[in-house]
Each structure stands twice: as C-alpha cells, then as structure tokens.
Amino acid sequence: MAFLDRFKTAAALLDPMVGALPNPTVAVSPWATGELSPILAAAELAQIKAPRIMTRMEAMKVPAVAKGRAIMHAIIADAPLRAYNDQGSLPNQPTWLYRSDNGISPYLRMTNILDDIYFNEASVLAVRRSTADESILDAVNVPYDRWRVQDGVIFVDDKPAASDQVIYIPGPFPGLLAIAADTLRAARDTDLAWMKRVKSPIPATVIQETEDMGGMDNDEATAYTKAAATALRDSDVPLFFLPAYLKADFATAQVTTDLFESGRNAIRIDIANFINFPTSLLDGTVSEASLTYSTQEGRRNEVFDYSIRYWKNPIEQALSLDNVVPRGQRVRFDFSDTFTTTPSPTGPAEQD
C-alpha cells in the first residue's frame, strides 16, 4: 500500500463518526498562535521567489527522514497501548486500544498519528462512543488534510467537530515540514546534484575550435556537444571523436566532490537534531561501531529516554485526558517486550 493510500479507507469511516454539533472541541496549538506567526508569514511573502512547497512524499525521499520515521514506527507503533489506574494495569482494558471495528488496525492507526506529528504539528482521532456510558468504542485517524484548527476550534471537512467526537493530539514540535523545510529542500537539491554528477562524472567539458575554419553554426556545434555528452555518460566507452580543428578541454572542468559527501553527512546530522535522534541511528552503514552501539543496553536505554520519550509522551498525555479515559486512569505504551533486558548467557545470578 502506498504511503498515503491508506488514508482513503479511513476517509469513508469519518462521516458517521464526526458531525457538526453545538459543542465544538477547543484545541490550543502553541505552533499556530501568538504574534510571531503573522510576522513570519509576512517575511515569507516578502521573498522575491517563494520556495517550493515541501510535501510528506517529497520529504520521504530524504534518507534520514525515512530512517527516522521507520525507527519510530518500529519502536512506538509496535508497542501496544494499555490503560492504568493507581493499582496498575486495568484487568479489563478498553477494547479500542487493542482492536478495531473499522478495518484499520490499531498499529496502522498509530503509524498515522506518528506521521501527523512527525511531518506536521498535531493529529486528530475521530471516535465512536457508547450510548450507555459514553466510553470510547472505536477510533480512527482523521487524515491531516481533512481537519484544521481555527480560533481554537477543530473543523473536520469545514464543519466544527463536537468535543466528544474527536481527540486532539498535539505533537512535540511544529513538524518537519514547517521547521525543517529549508533543510529538506537543500537535501533534495544535494541529492539531485549528486545524481547528476554520477550520471556525468565530468561536470563540464569545453569544446573549442583550434583553427579558423570560418566558424561553426549552431546546428554543427550542437551535434558535437550532444555526441560528447552522450559519450561521457557511457560507462563502457566514455570516448568521442573530434576533428583535428576541435579540442576538448577537461582541465578547466574539474570540480571538487567534497560537497556531496560532507554536505549529505551534514544534512543527516541536521535531520537528527530536528527529530531529537542520535545521528548514529540515522546512519545507513552497518559498521562495527554501530553494531556495538545497538547492542549496549545502557546506550539503548539512552535512546529510549531521550529520543523515544520525546515522541511518545505527547500521545500518552493526550490519550490520558478525561475526555478519553475516566478520571484516575491513564494510557501508556507497553514497551515490556521491546525493552526486555537480555538474559545472561550464564543463567540468573545466585547468592552464595
């Protein structure tokens, strides 16, 4: 299933779950309010050339972005949700936490939530409640382009959503598409430049006349330049023929390639800083250092404490509000399977 195609199934489920009722949901986003937003908007409008819009699909073409998203899905979305009270885990868990009646699995629902807060600033769930006690029976992610917040009110399909029909989940930051747009555009431009350089290892070649033969017209010059360009892209025989009165100058065309290596590494570091991940986690190489890093229990817990918590905590807090679970209860991810300590190969420790 394509990256965004999974939202099409959920779209048909929203109509019976969200309606325009007189009790709208109030949502407060720290990223879209205050006096700073109009100032930034005016500054962007003043630019002579507006930058191209960065979409989720375009951002996913940046390897570090795709790797960060994959790590979050593998660790957070794979962990089940549990409801707790002051006595511990509830013996009878809310069914919507671990099952679904709408055909969208809880895992896929959580990946949608993570994508929303990873690329954008927040996520919204549409819920179906019991008529007996108003407890939640089912929940489905609302595609990001179908909802908006205006004056603190959530609108779904341009209709104000009732407070008991949606759950607003604000993310930990404004989203990659907002705060890292310039870095993402630079990453894509660097990749495109790198691919062009690989396609044509010699970036430019000057073909000039060595004798006055009356001058070439444009058609004649174009024929030689096209032949040279085709030959230089030929990985088998990068040769081309020139008559005696023409010569190709390669010396003036040598350009350093450091930008492609150091620039791409710098972009990986920038993306890691934006999403609060150690740079080594976004490194695609399987070096000895990386393997050592991934197998050390202490460093693994460090990743969980400083990186994973940054992303999971806003979701847990939003799902623990009184409009989601009864007061005195809270919802948390269960990482007991993911972060179980590896048993000692010599067996359990024993006291003499």
**Sequential pLDDT tens for the chain (352 residues):** 444 444 444 555 565 565 545 566 666 665 555 444 444 444 444 444 456 678 999 999 999 999 999 999 999 999 999 999 999 999 999 999 999 888 899 999 999 999 999 999 999 999 999 999 999 999 999 999 999 998 888 999 999 998 889 999 999 999 999 999 999 998 888 878 777 766 666 656 666 666 666 666 667 767 766 776 666 666 555 556 666 556 666 654 455 555 667 778 888 999 999 999 988 887 754 444 444 544 556 567 778 888 999 999 999 999 999 999 999 999 999 998 876 555 545 544 444 3
Q: How far apart are CA 223 and CA 165, in angstroms?
A: 67
The predicted pLDDT at position 261 comes to 73
Residue 313 falls within a domain, yes or no? yes
Domain match, 79 and 225 both: no
The predicted pLDDT at position 299 comes to 63
Domain match, 222 and 85 both: no
Domain match, 162 and 93 both: yes
Domain match, 141 and 212 both: no
Domain match, 108 and 30 both: yes
The predicted pLDDT at position 25 comes to 61
Residue 192 falls within a domain, yes or no? no
The predicted pLDDT at position 5 comes to 47
Domain match, 56 and 159 both: yes
What is the number of structural domains in the chain? 2
Strands 330-333, 81-85: pairing is antiparallel
Q: How far apart are CA 220 and CA 257, in angstroms?
A: 32
The predicted pLDDT at position 297 comes to 60
Domain match, 176 and 31 both: yes
Domain match, 149 and 20 both: yes
Residue 296 falls within a domain, yes or no? no
Show the domain range for 26: 6-180+307-333
Token pair of 232 as six digits:
């230089």
Domain match, 91 and 240 both: no
Q: What is the DSSP letter of 17?
A: T
Residue 10 falls within a domain, yes or no? yes
- Find all residues with CB under 8 Å of 16, minimum gap 6, and list them: 128
The predicted pLDDT at position 259 comes to 60
Residue 188 falls within a domain, yes or no? no
Domain match, 317 and 225 both: no
User: Helix (H, G, I), strand (E, B), or coil: what is residue 78?
Assistant: coil
